Amino acid sequence: MAIAKALEEAIARGDLLPGARLPPHRVLAEQLRVSVQTVSNAYAHAEKQGFVAARVGSGTFVSDYGGGKETELMLAEEKNTEGRAIDLSIAHPVCTDELTRLFGEVLVRVGQGNTESLIRAARPVQGLWPHIEAAARWLESQKLPAEPERVLLCNGVSHGLMLAMGVLLQPGDIVACEELVDHGLIARSRMLGVRLCGLPVDREGIIPDALEDACRKKKIKVLCCTPSMSNPASCHMSQERRLAIAELARRYHLMVIEDDVYGALEPDRLPPLSSLLPEQAFYVTSLTKTVAPGLRCGFMVVPRHLLQHCVARLAASSWMAPPLVFEVVSRWIQDGTLRRLIAFQQQEFAARQRLARELLTGFEYDSHEHGMHLWLRLPEGWGADELVGSARQANVLLTGYQPFVVDPERRLGRVRISLGCESSRYRVGHGLQLLAGMLNTPPPPTHFLL
């Protein structure tokens, strides 16, 4: 099934766009030097998975959304732009009625089975073993081979990061991180009484020289970072950058906490940073940014020597994570639904990024081709508060730069645009058109922004 897998990855990357015609069976067989039957079997498998569709007399074409038959009708094209605001402010995967239907169906199947182990479960705190085994299989698909014994189930990424920080840090400790971070890290650092050291970044994330300089000048205890599609700036480490950061962590004996909540959005993704530091890194991910925000199932991979410390904190903070949501996810891992749902998000965010490039031509922003955010640089004359206020007047919601800056005194001419909260691509496009129109004119006087 190598040909079918290659087709799936090319579709997810956006190399093969919806509606593209695939080569005839015989032509592809000659190109790849395989039998026609091998190509026919590959096309049939891809069609069964919903990535392509055969049309009698016309050929085989890439399906509209390339994410499996369940996702062919997944995208809602609501065209009503009146009434409720167009929400481009929340970091959110694309959720649709079809996703809700799939969730309802799996809940019915769970209810028809033996639910005793789910409703009575109180131990092990680490998670039910079948769920841990399923999680380990999924993590391996994310290029993080992990022994099931090192996997811990928690209540989402925020919970997992809090557990990792609680194990590793004491009040007053210094944590190195990107100079722009998810606002949750800033809140957790305040709660724990630790200090954040924001490091300069480029398009590949933390600059190694900056990390080394900080390690020489300060007592850095932990590096907390998001190597894949960081929020809000969508910085994305190359493999070379990951190797350089891992080498510095080893040299300066840094423990690493990796937030990989966006990593699965990258087709044929790079291995997580934690794969290079198995006994020096806490790895944390979830499905809240790649499938649905309500799937607050956190997956942690913990260094062996710190596992019991982490389990003890899990027990103290929430006991075991609720088994029901992990039963749903485990079933989706086993039957391939999870892979198809993530493939849909990859394809849809790629389409929305292309839409943004078309509608925001002439404006400068940072993004990843499969990411959910645009980190927009404002034209001269506009400030973040002015644009957020003007957009709100036009019924479009944005997020300013303020929640993401480690240094509260820092001022930036930036806003974050998030592309996933609206299930309708049409509404996203309309919101972007309104923003482009605003930015092509001078900002209004501030006293008109109520």
Spell out the residues 6+ positions from residue 213 whose beta carbon is closer than 8 angstroms to its own: none
Q: Is the pLDDT of residue 165 over 90?
A: yes
Output the pLDDT for position 17: 64
- The answer to whether 344 touches 67, Cβ cutoff 8 Å, is yes
Distance of CA 170 to the CA centre of its chain: 29
Q: Is the pLDDT of residue 143 over 80?
A: yes
Give the residue-averaged pLDDT of 67-75: 44
**Antiparallel, parallel or unpaired: β 373-377 and 414-418:** antiparallel
Q: Is the pLDDT of residue 180 over 50?
A: yes
* 2-63 CATH choice from 1.10.10.10, 1.50.10.20, 1.20.1440.60, 3.40.50.800: 1.10.10.10
Distance of CA 100 to the CA centre of its chain: 20
DSSP three-state, residue 63: coil
Output the pLDDT for position 134: 96
DSSP three-state, residue 375: strand
Q: Provide the b/e sequence for 307-317 (b: ≥16 CB within 10 Å).
A: beebbebbeee
Q: Is the pLDDT of residue 164 over 80?
A: yes
Looking at domain 102-337, does it have CATH number 3.40.640.10? yes
Output the pLDDT for position 283: 98
Query: Domain ranges in the chain?
Result: 2-63, 86-97+343-448, 102-337
Q: Is the pLDDT of residue 449 over 60?
A: no
Spell out the residues 6+ positions from residue 86 whose beta carbon is closer than 8 angstroms to its own: 395, 396, 397, 422, 427, 428, 430, 431, 434
Output the pLDDT for position 429: 94
**Per-residue tokens: 204:** 């590949």
Q: Is the pLDDT of residue 321 over 50?
A: yes
Q: How far apart are CA 292 and CA 342, in angstroms?
A: 10
Q: Is the pLDDT of residue 91 over 90?
A: yes
DSSP three-state, residue 379: coil
Output the pLDDT for position 72: 44
- CB half-sphere exposure, 119, CA atoms < 13 A: 6
Output the pLDDT for position 13: 61
* 232 prior amide bond cis, ω within 30: yes
Residues found in the chain: 450
Question: Considering the chain, what is the average pLDDT of its residues?
Answer: 90
Q: Provide the b/e sequence for 160-186 (b: ≥16 CB within 10 Å).
A: bbbbbbbbbbeeebebbbbbbbbeebb
Output the pLDDT for position 9: 74
**Per-residue tokens: 70:** 């369940």
pTM of the model: 0.83
Output the pLDDT for position 79: 64
Q: What is the CATH number of domain 86-97+343-448?
A: 3.90.1150.10
Output the pLDDT for position 254: 97
Instruction: Grade residue 26 by pLDDT with cuts at 50, 70 and 90.
Output: confident
Residue in 168, 111, 154 with CA at minimum distance from that of residue 326 = 154
Instruction: Grade residue 10 by pLDDT with cuts at 50, 70 and 90.
Output: confident
Output the pLDDT for position 447: 53
| pLDDT tens column, 208-254 | 999 999 999 999 999 999 999 999 999 999 999 999 999 999 999 99
Q: How far apart are CA 178 and CA 185, in angstroms?
A: 11
**Per-residue tokens: 131:** 């769920």
Instruction: Grade residue 65 by pLDDT with cuts at 50, 70 and 90.
Output: very low
**Per-residue tokens: 56:** 């009698």
DSSP three-state, residue 293: coil
Output the pLDDT for position 443: 85
Share of the chain above pLDDT 70, in %: 92
Phi, psi of 86 (to 5 degrees): -80, 115
Q: Is the pLDDT of residue 404 over 60?
A: yes
Q: How far apart are CA 397 and CA 443, in angstroms?
A: 17
Q: How far apart are CA 385 and CA 393, in angstroms?
A: 12
Query: Residue 299 pairs with which residues in a beta bridge?
Result: 153, 285
Give the residue-averaged pLDDT of 242-270: 96
Q: Provide the b/e sequence for 378-403 (b: ≥16 CB within 10 Å).
A: bbeebbbebbbbbbeeebbbbbbbbb
**Per-residue tokens: 284:** 């944390």
| pLDDT tens column, 113-126 | 888 889 888 889 99
Q: Is the pLDDT of residue 152 over 90?
A: yes
Distances (CA, A) of 137 to 143, 185, 400, 414: 10, 28, 38, 39
Q: DSSP for 85-146?
A: -EE-SS------HHHHHHHHHHHHHHHHS--HHHHS----TT--HHHHHHHHHHHHHTT---
Q: How far apart are CA 124 and CA 198, in angstroms?
A: 38
